[in-house]
Amino acid sequence: MRLKIDITGLVQGVGFRPFVFKLAEELGLRGYVLNNATGVLVEVEGEERKLYDFLVRLDRDRPDISRIFSLRHAFLEESGFSGFEIRESTDKGDKRVFILPDISACEECLKDVTEPRDRRFLYPFTNCTNCGPRFTIIERLPYDRKNTSMKNFSMCPACKKEYHMESDRRFHAQPVACGACGPWLSLYDREGQVLCEKEEALEKAVNLIRKGYIIAAKGIGGYHLICDATSEDTVRRLRQRKHREEKPLAVMFPDLDAIRREMNITPMEERALTSIERPVVIVRKKTSASLAASVSPGYRNAGVFLPYTPMHYLILRKFKRPVVATSANISDDPIVADEADAFARLSGTADYFLTHNRRIIRRCDDSVVRIAAGRQVPVRRSRGFVPMPVTVPFKFSTPVLALGAYMNSTIALGIDDRVFISQHIGDLDTPLAMEFYDRAVEDFLGLFRVRPGVVVSDMHPGYYSTKYGQRRFHDRLFKVQHHYAHILSCMAENGITGDTRVIGFAFDGTGYAPDGTIWGGEVLTASYSGFKRVFHLSPYRLPGGDRAVREPCRSALSLLYETLGDGAAETDVLPLARDERLFLINMIRKDINSPVTTSMGRLFDGIASITGLRHRVSYHAQAAAELEQLALGSGEKGSYPFGIEKGNIVHTPMVRMILDDLKAETPQEDIARKFHNTIVEIIVSTAESVRKETGISHAALSGGVFQNTILMEDAFNALRQRGFVPLVHQLVPPNDGGIALGQAVFAAVHLNTAQSSLP
Ligand code: ZN
Ligand code: ZN
Ligand code: FE
């Protein structure tokens, strides 16, 4: 196993390389460390357990004066280093394109705000050269104060002195500020009356949280809705007002010890929680957790994180209990990021507004990750990670703009050998989301000062992103198939090079395919030059199309119809009256608004409904997520039968056995677990069959379905056991938030091919 770590920061000339060398020697790891244009690159190889140690200790024990702004790491296939060496520095990499992400508050700044004698005592916008906002305050490059939203605040003499003193921690820190000269907090009521300001506002806000009120608090990349996470009443009220009845809410804890008391966390999860990016980490709740049940109803997991600005830190330190801190938006609209918007859109949700007068130049939601199979898998890659690039194993001969898909959308820019992926934009189905999308594209092009030579979109003619591409870039627009783009993104971030072929498992809810059906349970053989569909779920119909996405019982009925034919009308496992069943079966049979699909996501939905777990959903992939939660409670090792016929993965034998299990009153969680085990077996057996035929041994797992930890971990381990090299996502999400990377890669490769074939 190889671990590749790409660090951006002040890590040169501070004894960092000797430290890395010693650590690698001590753990018996092979590889190298080298200085590059923006920091250091480290690759180490050895036993997996030792690599985890290395990663954890690299963060924990590094020289005090070294500063890390971003640390991207991925576990990759071994490449055969001998010994450990400090390599010659390279200047490789474009320094011009260098915008830092928002960096969580450093220890020293947190010390400043808690030291009563310090002039920044309780000042919530304290930052220094090593920490503070970047991406969200930059208007344009170069990164100078006059080009940031700090330009309206002129430094007081004391701040100016620090700014100009080379020995100071705030030497040339662009957002440097203090209570005398910088931004300040104001607390408003719902009518827009200012109640108090500065320290008083913070103090009062905490008191209001304690009393059970919901506060809209302006942070780095937008507003959060904050409330007491231990009060069932309060959290329930938040859900009602936010129209978010069931989706889990993120919880911010005062410190790591508080998280340890309530959650079962592994060393890798602990590392993720305290990492410079400070993402929300999805971890396992203890049964004794004091969180209100409504925080993540029905879930064994919860998304938790630590304060990452002095403001959040001061609130939590005073409150001493966990708070819900969820992106302030209504339903699927983008996160609220300015005052006018906050009062207009949140006055029905928040009781009070804790705002400040530093403008947010670009929105940026919190990032979300989970640890699965020992890998940090992004669920949402945004604040802290953006706009750091993913390095790919080839070069863009012209800048490429990738437009993403539709759900969880992001866009990407390919420049040189890097892909810069935007912050989370969201689902493109409200006018506000589309407006944010337009702005994000313009913003990225402006920020990186490029004109794209090639633009890539999904093939779906109905996606806003595709239409946008056609409208704006029709003269240079390429389209790439959705599931192929998923697999390409997984290949690229895993450093696959040349004409290596992989078996691609692209499992998701929906994707447009050239044959007019909806794909989503696809096994491809793929290389950078093209792909072939070798297996897929056997097709079934979705009565009502999009309505079937919201109503898993429709997928369920269709699966029953495939299995039992007209007999499906007589089964009573679904909460549908007999004439409803007949009506839907009629739609399926006569092909009335019932598109054909091979979607794995809908199969999960359908099984969740057949087992009686959920028939209608209030958020995307809810049924599948709940099925996973249920399966976590079972140790069942068995699985269901399935068939493989002429490229079809036949699910009817499985459905039949599930019906038998239901009749035999097999516990629901055991059925859920057996279903998961079956999908793992499908992966392994189709992989075996492809390998026999082609000799391919790399297996890439991509698509939103692989956010399912059981499925991802079990498939990963099973594939490995049989001698495959499983490739999983570690730098971009497996869901459609990662698809722009694959699209960009498609353009890079096909452009290069075109170039090399020129005389
Ligand atoms: Zn700092
Ligand atoms: Zn000042
Ligand atoms: Fe997808």
Q: Give residue 633's pLDDT band: very low, low, confident or very high (50, 70, 90).
A: very high
CA of 747 to the centre of ligand 3 (A): 19
Sign of CA pseudo-dihedral 552, 558, 561, 563: negative
Question: Residues of CATH 3.90.870.10 domain(s) within the chain?
Answer: 217-356
From-to residues of CATH 1.10.357.160 in the chain: 541-680
Report CA-CA distances (Å) from 695 to 181, 384, 490, 691, 715.
66, 40, 20, 4, 19
Position 758 scores a pLDDT of 35
Q: How confident is the model at residue 756 (pLDDT cuts 50, 70, 90)?
A: very low
Distance 266 CA to ligand 1 centre (A): 27
Gap from CA of 103 to ligand 2 centroid (Å): 20
Tokens of 414: 């390919």
Distance 733 CA to ligand 1 centre (A): 29
* Mean pLDDT to the nearest integer, 338-349: 92
* pLDDT, tens digit (0-9, with 9 covering 90-100), for 286-334: 988 899 999 998 899 999 999 999 999 999 999 999 999 999 987 778 9
Distance (angstroms) between ligand 3 centre and the Cα of 511 equals 6
In 10 A of CB 660, how many CB atoms?
11
Structure confidence by residue, pLDDT tens digits, 733-747: 999 999 999 999 999
Question: At the top level of CATH, which class does the domain 541-680 belong to?
Answer: mainly alpha
Ligand 3 mean position, distance from CA 274 (Å): 30
DSSP calls for 594-662: --EE--HHHHHHHHHHHTTS-SS-SSTTHHHHHHHHHHTT---------EEETTEEE-HHHHHHHHHHH
Q: Quote the longest CA-to-CA distance of the chain.
A: 82
Ligand 3 centre distance from Cα of residue 432 (Å): 22
The ligand that comes nearest to the alpha carbon of residue 159 is: 2
Cα(739) to centroid of ligand 3, in Å?
Answer: 7
Q: pLDDT (tens digit, 9 = 90+) per residue, 382-404?
A: 999 999 999 999 899 999 999 99
Fold of the domain built from segment(s) 2-86: Alpha-Beta Plaits (3.30.70)
Go through 687-712 and write b for each residue having 16 or more CB atoms within 10 A of its CB, e for each that does not: beebbeeeebbbbbbbbbbbbbbbbb
11 band by pLDDT with thresholds 50, 70 and 90: confident
pLDDT at 754 over 60: no
Amino acid at residue number 156? C
Residues of the chain with CATH 3.30.420.360: 389-494+734-756
How many angstroms separate the alpha carbon of residue 662 from the centre of ligand 2?
A: 68
**464-514 pLDDT, tens per residue?**
999 999 999 999 999 999 999 999 999 999 999 999 999 999 999 999 998
What spacing in Å lies between the alpha carbon of 468 and ligand 3's midpoint?
19
The CA 90 to ligand 3 mean position distance, Å, reads 37
462 CB burial (10 A radius; 0-12, 13-18, 19+): exposed
pLDDT(53) > 90: yes
Residue 578 has pLDDT above 90, yes or no: yes
Residue range(s) occupied by CATH 3.30.70.100 in the chain:
2-86
CA 335 remoteness from chain centre: 16
In angstroms, rounded to a whole number, what is the distance separating the alpha carbons of residues 315 and 596? 52
Residue 164 pLDDT > 60: yes
pLDDT, residue 505, reads: 98
Q: List 194's β-bridge partners, or say none.
A: 188
- CA–centroid distance, residue 741 to ligand 3 (Å): 13
CA of 104 to the centre of ligand 1 (A): 8
Quick one: which ligand is closest to 161's CA? 2
Would you call the peptide bond into 133 cis, given omega within 30 degrees of 0 as the criterion?
no
Distance CA 76, CA 490 (A): 12
CB 186 within 8 A of CB 355: yes
Shortest-distance ligand to the CA of residue 104: 1
Neighbours of 590 (CB within 10 A): 9
Residues facing residue 419 across a β-bridge: 390, 414
Enter the pTM of the model.
Answer: 0.96
At residue 724, the 3 state secondary structure works out as: coil
Residues 590, 593, 595, 601, Cα dihedral to 10°? -120
Ligand nearest to the CA of 707: 3
CATH hierarchy code of domain 389-494+734-756: 3.30.420.360
Q: Give 483 Cα–ligand 3 centroid separation in angstroms.
A: 6
| Ligand nearest to the CA of residue 705, numbered in listed order | 3
**Ligand 3: distance of its center to the CA of 736 in Å?**
5
Q: Say how many Å lie between the CA of residue 276 and the centre of ligand 1.
A: 12
CATH 3.40.190.10 is the classification of domain 217-356? no
**DSSP for residue 88:** P
List, for residues 720-730, the tens digit of each pLDDT value: 999 999 999 99
CB neighbour class for 666 (10 Å; exposed up to 12, middle 13-18, buried from 19)? middle
pLDDT value of position 752: 67
Q: Is the model more confident about 696 or about 749?
A: 696
Banded pLDDT at 706 (limits 50, 70, 90): very high
pLDDT in tens, 59-92: 899 998 899 999 999 999 999 999 999 998 876 5
